[in-house]
Amino acid sequence: MTTTERHPIRGAEAAAAAKQASPSTAPKKRKRISAAEKKRRRAGWLMITPSVIHVGLWTLIPVIATFYLSFTDYGIFAAPKWIWFDNYVEMFNDAVFMQSIGNTIWYTFWTVPVSMAVAVVVAVLLNQGLKLQKFYRTAFFLPQVTATVAIAMVWLWIFNPQYGLLNAMLETIGLPGQAWLVDPKWALPAVILVGAWQGIGIKMLIYIAALQNIDESLYEAASLDGASSIRKFFSITVPMLKPATFFVFIISIIGAFQVFDQIYVLTDGGPANATTMMTYEVYRSAFQEFRMGMASAQSVVLFAFLLFVTLISRRVTKEED
Amino acid sequence: MTLPTIKALAISEQVTVVPRKRWFHHAKGRQAALINVALTLGSITMLVPFLWMVLTSLKSPAELAQFPPTFFPQEWMFSNYAATLDAAPFGLYFRNSFVIATTHTLITVVLGSMAGYALARIYFKGREAIFLAFIAMLMIPTYTKIVPQFLLVKFMPLFGGNDILGQGGSGWLDTWWALIIPGGLSASAIFLFRQFYLSLPKDLEEAARIDGLGEFRIFSQIYTPLIKPAIATVGLLTFQESWNNFLWPLLVTTSSDLRVIQVGLAVFQQLDNTQWQYLMAGTTMATVPMVILFIFAQKYFIQGFTNAGIK
């Protein structure tokens, strides 16, 4: 699970957990430690050691190394050379990397609100106790469980300028077909469409769970006052969903910033860098140009963006408490 | 207290997740019809790409070269699947993905549950520090560790011709080690397990301890059986992530023998003259296991995705 970008849960999960970090089985009074207690503690250490080693080796050390390498010139074959901020300076003067930051923000700006809006509407509709509820839920969630690479292959075919389904559909309703992924004007919107389409499921699920926690008596009272369904939606559902919305918003931004698989399959960052993303630039620097130092510096910038989002979310949640 | 009574006691505590409430106002009549229409249209939008994938995989090359495209195949070419397996070793890719996903799931469930249990239910020195460190690790994006992870694999000492300092060879690159070990466990799985173990009542362990059970037995025989749904949840999420993982196997393998199915698809697509019917057949093969798994184990997936989010 180390190398996935679709697990959108991490940041916010962690924020929630940090709050409840207090131990449940804390010692009452530790004046004397009995033999049994000693044995227990040893068992605890034994149980956690493999995980500590694994996470230490494959996460902690790599993170530290990333920061170190970002200040070096390193091409794998010779030892890293310390060059202070040269990578950062070069990166911010690199038009392609700056474009990748712009593209990433633009992608996030469109996919997150669009799929959130669809998700909340679908969740509310799904929560009305329909018979086919399960089928609908499965349909909306399916793109989330299937691999992004596989799904992107299908979209690649749908977007095909010559034989694609999308152009065929557009022509039946009298609209001109487009070259989509090979047209610099349309490539990013096409990628955004795929991202928004795929991102609905998880958001919908979180909204459904949040809806089930809304106190039903609120709706009862509103019904007695003669409020319409639409009125109830805007006056009760929307405000009550505010914490869930905030949570979904944050994890979605974090997820969207790490888009990679569909870029790799659909466009390779092209045409003319129209769809390149920060993640894609990290990949290109490290594994096509073998500039490990530069790739590390770029990934530090990506990390800074995500950290910024997480910290803001922390602050806002704190203020609300 | 005997083991069965302890278990019964815990089950009565309702340890599992997400209470399912019936919604108060059921939609009726015309309103319900409208909602159904809207949701059906939405579902079609979500499902059409999947349908299109399967239909394309069953068409002939001549039919695929028509515009506008036919919707249903004029001739159902089921032989495309056999031809796909001849065109690229998708069977092998499939097997590789399956082996890796299964191994990741086993490692995660065994090590993750032990670590989660220790963090939730045993007090030992340094526990809080370890927990906070895990939380911090949760927040690290993939791309902020991928370069050094790759370097660690490449310079793994004493493997693949490397000397003790990791020089001279290729380390774990292009080996099963690279595919299995780094992705074998994640901080998020440990975190989820901890949350599940925390939700169990404390009197169980006290009773068990009076009965003289050791910590490993309390873990394996009393608490772990009670979180079977959680194990299913974490296991399925791990399997799904591993099966769908693309970037890591792409980076660390080069030989076709070790290729996983997602990378196999990408390689097949990059060949000249994409054979769409074969590519879609391969994509269908890569997708179907997850779809089936999801449909049959939907409860656990949904618990996993929501629970991990809400708690």
Mutate to test the interface with B, among A108, A137, A145 (most CBs of B within 10 A): A145
- Digit-coded pLDDT (tens) for B180-225: 999 899 888 999 899 889 888 888 888 888 888 888 889 998 899 9
Domain identity same for A194 and A290: yes
A164 plus A225 within the same structural domain: yes
**Which candidate in A10, A68, A116, A302 is best for mutational testing of the B interface (most B CBs within 10 A)?**
A10
- CA–CA gap between residue B259 and residue B248 (Å, rounded): 11
Which residues of chain A are within 8 Å of residue B120 when distances are taken between CB atoms? Answer: 24-25
Tell me the pLDDT band of A27, cut-offs 50, 70 and 90: low
B122, B147, B216 member nearest A25 (Cβ):
B122
Distance between CA B246 and CA B229 in Å, rounded? 28
The answer to whether the Cα torsion of B268, B272, B274, B275 is positive or negative is negative
Query: Is A110 in the same domain as A233?
Result: yes
CATH number at residue A102: 1.10.3720.10
Residue A82 domain flag: no
- What domain count does chain A have? 2
Q: Which of residues 81-110 of A touch B (CB under 8 A)?
A: none
Q: Does A281 lie in the same domain as A189?
A: yes
A81 is a domain residue: no
Q: Which of A17, A63, A216 sits opposite B144 (nearest CB)?
A: A63
Confirm or reject contact between A1 and chain B (CB < 8 A): yes
- Domain assignment of residue A79, yes or no: no
Is A83 contained in some domain?
no
**What residues of chain A, 277 to 316, have a C-beta less than 8 Å from chain B?**
278-279, 282-283, 286-287, 292, 295-296, 299-300, 302-303, 306-307, 310
pLDDT of residue B3: 36
Q: Considering only CA atoms, which of B95, B93, B100, B147 is closest in space to residue B255?
A: B93
Query: Is residue A56 domain-resident?
Result: yes
What is the ipTM, given to two decimal places?
0.84
Tens digit of each residue's pLDDT (9 = 90 or more) over B127-145: 999 999 998 888 888 899 9
**pLDDT tens digits along A126-163:** 888 788 888 999 999 999 888 999 999 999 999 998 88
Instruction: Give the pLDDT band (50/70/90) at residue A292.
Output: very high
Residue A129 sits in the same domain as residue A179? yes
Q: How far apart are CA B247 and CA A258, in angstroms?
A: 12
Instruction: From chain A, pick out residues whose CB is under 8 angstroms from the CB of B45.
Output: 197
CB pairs under 8 A between A and B: 386
Note whether A190 and A49 are same-domain residues: no
| pLDDT of A4 higher than 70 | no
Both structure tokens of A57: 């080796």
Terminal CA-to-CA distance of chain A, rounded, Å? 33
Same domain assignment for residues A147 and A206:
yes
A319 contact B CB<8A: no
Residues B94-108: what's their mean pLDDT?
95
- Which tokens go with B276? 């769409």
**3 state SS of B49:** helix
Q: What range does the domain containing A15 cover?
A: 3-69
**Chain A 232-261, CB below 8 Å of chain B: which residues?**
247, 251, 254, 257-258, 260-261
CB B170 within 8 A of CB A23: no
Query: What are A144's two structure tokens?
Result: 């989330």
**Cβ pair B302:A205 closer than 8 A:** yes
B-chain residue closest to A163, CA distance? B67
For residues A65-76, give the mean pLDDT.
Answer: 94
Torsion-angle region of A245 (φ positive above 0: left; ψ -120 to 50: alpha; else: beta): alpha
Share of chain A above pLDDT 70, in %: 89
Q: What is the pLDDT of residue A123?
A: 92
A130-141 per-residue burial string, b: 16 or more CB within 10 A, e: under 16? beebeebbbbbb
Q: Do A1 and B302 touch (CB under 8 A)?
A: no
Question: Is this model's pTM higher than 0.80 or not?
Answer: yes
Residues A216 and A261 in one domain: yes
Residue of A nearest to B234 (CA): A1
CB contact under 8 A, B147 and A47: no
pLDDT in tens, A234-277: 888 888 888 888 888 888 998 899 999 999 999 999 899 999 99
Look at residue A77 and tell me if it is in a domain: no
Chain B CB contacts of A135 under 8 Å are 43
